[in-house]
Structure 1
Amino acid sequence: MLSVTFSLSDDLAVALVLAAEADLIAIDRYRAQDLDVQLKPDRSQVTDADTRVERIIREHLAEARPDDSIVGEEFGTAGTSNRQWIIDPIDGTSNFVRGVPIWGALISLVIDGVPQVGVVSAPALGRRWWAATGHGAWLQQDGGEPRRLRVSGIADLAAASFSYNSLKHWDQYGRLDQLVALSRAVERTRAFGDLWSYMLLAEGAIDIAGEFDVKPWDIAALVPIVREAGGRITDVDGADALDTLSVLATNGLLHDDVLGYLRTS
């Protein structure tokens, strides 16, 4: 059998179709009176929307990219290809359940361990963000004309805006003192949460975002978007791995300074 080589533009087109399918299912179940909500073994929530979205995405990829492997939050890993689709069917399930509109599908393609395509789609916000390496980062809002994204040009921590997500998790991972020190150094702190912090960073609306207790499916789709918008994204110790349970994104200009504040010694 002849192997097929796909361009990143082709892969991005597939990811955007997957996002559209995910949106249709998820927005139909958002605020539904009969939404089925259960607790997973780690005590996190899962809904019938999460499982339906992931199943549809897996079915579509089985046809469009049958040789690729898949990692999904709800149904685990299938395949061993160096081309790996990493899926979070609904990032922000707790928000979804409670009627908070900050949630969405995270769809990424990782090739040889490097995230190359990322789509973040938040239908309750009317926004979809995407990027592929070398193709820029883009936002489409309410079905309008896509616009290219660029991170902020703020180079002084004293003028920066920082979204830290969860005090509890920073405390659990032994970095609360570092978080407090950084919050004192910046101009403004907020906790926008989940996918929205990183997309606001890619849009240039905030300058730093970080959190703990994350998995590869929480991170992979963010990476191409932040990088193609001109930012930098690592874990809180500066490493590029997807499995270290933390993530730090900045406009790039502030990254080394922020890492300095977050060091434990």
Structure 2
Amino acid sequence: MHPDLALAHRLADAAGAAIRPLFRGEWAEERKADRSPVTAADRAAEAAMRAILASERPDDGILGEEYGLANEGAARRWVLDPIDGTISFMAGRPIFGTLIALMQDGWPVLGIIDQPIARERWAGRIGEATTLNGKAVRTRACGSLEGAALATSSPHYFSAQEAEDYMRLAAAVAGNVRQAPIVYGGDCYNYGLLASGHIDLVCEAGLALHDYAALVPVVEGAGGIMCDWQGNPLDAASAEAEGGRVLALGDPARLEDVLEALGASGG
């Protein structure tokens, strides 16, 4: 195994060891400046990962959701989200995940999605096949946008315009079927399911770099594609340049259909 990927696995192990004792346990909830929730588990998991990086990769940069930026000028930067889906963690739902990415010159080259309760771990590295618990996985073919399985964390995360765009996409997926194949909730877990061929499309907005950096190598290493709502590849600048509007498709052949369904604002 490549040394960077082996290190990323150790980071995920350390984060999981910090999170599991607190899952469905007792802890104090706090609110950050942006009113998003944070718990002792978020902080403990990130602290555990940062301690390993400080020891083993002292020259690399680190960007973590809870403790910010270190070694700002480094060309290599680890991007950490200790609990992506803190609300799910707080509710006792094991569909949150730890996200670990390595970026080189602003581009994601390695990513891990780790669900520490179910012990499911997707790992991707540029040039290599994505794995789930060590076994290669692939996205599935999607012959038509109508009937495709669509996921998003919450419609409340969209602005008014983004919600209109999203609803056009949802309508294209639903077709004439009342029970549309649309999944709500799941955060990063949806992207792992897409990489494993269970979901066809994820559409999100308002994501920060720590929310999407790890997802790109996982999805693309399984045969899928990730981009913004204009169809551009995702890099460190996408969160600000495109408002964190992110698409993930299991079948890249459906990209033009998705962009067309999103409408003028989406491309």
Q: TM-score, normalised by structure 1?
A: 0.91
Which runs of at least 4 in structure 1 moved beyond 2 Å after TM superposition? Answer: 239-242
**Structure 1 residues 17-68: Cα deviation after superposition (integer angstroms, max 9, x where no partner):** 00011001101111112x1210001000011111111111111001111110
Number of equivalences: 251
Unpaired runs of 5+ in structure 2?
Answer: 175-180
For 1:150, which of 131, 138, 142 is the aligned residue? 138
Moved more, 83-92 or 181-190: 181-190
Give the equivalent residue in structure 1 for 2:189.
196
Measure the CA separation in 2 of the matches of 1:246 and 1:182. Answer: 14
8 Å contact 1:173–1:212 — kept in the other structure? Answer: no
Measure the CA separation in 2 of the matches of 1:262 and 1:75. Answer: 35
**Structure 1 residues 131-184: Cα deviation after superposition (integer angstroms, max 9, x where no partner):** 1111210001xxxxx2211111112112311112211222x2512222222112
For 1:111, which of 101, 104, 125 is the aligned residue? 104
> Is 1:63 matched with 2:63?
no
**Structure 1 residues 209-260: Cα deviation after superposition (integer angstroms, max 9, x where no partner):** 0111210000000000001001010112222234232211002121121011
- Give matches, 1:92-131, under 5 Å: 92-131=85-124
Measure the CA separation in 1 of the matches of 2:126 and 2:192. Answer: 17
Measure the CA separation in 2 of the matches of 1:165 and 1:70. Answer: 26
* Shift in alpha-carbon separation, 1:173–1:223, aligned structure 2, 3 A: farther
For 2:157, which of 164, 169, 174 is the aligned residue? 169
**Structure 1 residues 66-104: Cα deviation after superposition (integer angstroms, max 9, x where no partner):** 110000001111112110000001111111111111112
- Give matches, 1:111-260, under 5 Å: 111-140=104-133, 146-170=134-158, 172=159, 174-187=161-174, 188-239=181-232, 240-241=234-235, 242-243=238-239, 244=242, 245-251=244-250, 252-260=252-260
Give the share of equivalent positions with the same residue, in percent: 37
Measure the CA separation in 2 of the matches of 1:29 and 1:229. Answer: 32
Give the equivalent residue in structure 2 for 1:3.
none
Measure the CA separation in 1 of the matches of 2:118 and 2:261. Answer: 33
Secondary structure of the residue that 2:117 maps to in structure 1? Answer: helix
Measure the CA separation in 2 of the matches of 1:209 and 1:61. Answer: 31
Measure the CA separation in 2 of the matches of 1:263 and 1:149. Answer: 32
8 Å contact 1:54–1:89 — kept in the other structure? Answer: yes
Measure the CA separation in 1 of the matches of 2:203 and 2:186. Answer: 9
Q: CA deviation at 1:125?
A: 2.4
Measure the CA separation in 2 of the matches of 1:263 and 1:68. Answer: 40
- Give matches, 1:21-36, under 5 Å: 21-33=14-26, 35-36=27-28
Give the equivalent residue in structure 2 for 1:20.
13
Q: Which amino acid aligns with 2:248?
A: A
8 Å contact 1:249–1:255 — kept in the other structure? Answer: no
> Is 1:39 matched with 2:31?
yes
Q: CA deviation at 1:203?
A: 0.6
